[in-house]
Amino acid sequence: MTNAFLDFNHREKQAGFANEVNTLIDRALVAENAQRPQRDYLGGSRLGDACARRLQYEYLKTPKDEGAGFSGRSLRIFALGHVLEDLVIDWLRKAGFDLRTRNRHGNQFGFSAAGGRVRGHADGVVVAAPNGMAVPALWECKSANAKNWRAMSKNGVAKAKPIYATQIALYQAYLGLTETPALFTAVNKDTCEVWHELVPFNGALAQAVSDKAVQILRACDAGEQLPRHTTDPEHFECRFCAWKERCWV
């Protein structure tokens, strides 16, 4: 007689095996990331962060709280974002967009200011489009979970993700792409829906974030600590900050 009983431990064993493999992967990714040199400049993609003190910590390479830093899962998410960006580049080119991701010297489009202490690298520039879109135009691409993607597609990037809008304005200003709206693309990681939005140049925002960069650099040079973004240590941005313990001592 055949044993009709199922092995209910099978799924548990498989889950244990999967966790074991993922632990090895994450350990390797974290070790690899630890070997990457830290930035010695303020990144244009970060200057829209609401907390100037956090940007100071980043620029000064202040040691993070014990146990803080990117987990293996976070690094996998970042890697997926790069893969999705490459896919969107291919999709847009197949659709007839002349999208350039490198300049004539083979380098990524970017800028350097304040003696190299403020830098940024753009995802690309659209130089021709099949739908009459004004060119040349900055192109920036982000991937997001369904919740954040829906917020951007419903309310626009400026309202839903000010940090991205700040990056776009700054790059438009420094790359001389202020006469035409930028093309912002967002990919939904959960559904593969793609949102495209034209973002007109916001000169006031670009000037404000440029002034902010100068303020941060001056404070760093003077050894002054800029104010926190909030007076509440349990604010959601503080809860996930890598310098929370140091900041609130």
pLDDT in tens, 85-122: 999 999 999 999 999 999 888 999 999 999 999 999 99
Q: Give the tokens for residue 88.
A: 């969107």
Question: What are the extents of the domains in the chain?
Answer: 8-37, 42-247
In this predicted structure, what is the pLDDT of residue 178?
98
In the beta sheet, which residues pair with residue 126? 99, 137
Buried b (16+ CB within 10 A) or exposed e, 95-126: eebebbeeeeeeeebebebeeebbbbebbbbb
User: 172 and 216 in contact (C-beta within 8 Å)?
Assistant: no
43-98 pLDDT per residue, tens: 999 999 999 999 999 999 999 898 888 889 999 999 999 999 999 999 999 999 99
Note the maximum CA span of the chain. 83
User: 165 and 158 in contact (C-beta within 8 Å)?
Assistant: yes
The residue to which tokens 């520039």 are assigned: 125
Instruction: Tell whether omega for the bond before 181 is within 30 degrees of 0, i.e. cis.
Output: no
Q: Strand, coil or helix: what is 126?
A: strand
CATH fold label, 42-247: Lambda Exonuclease; Chain A (3.90.320)
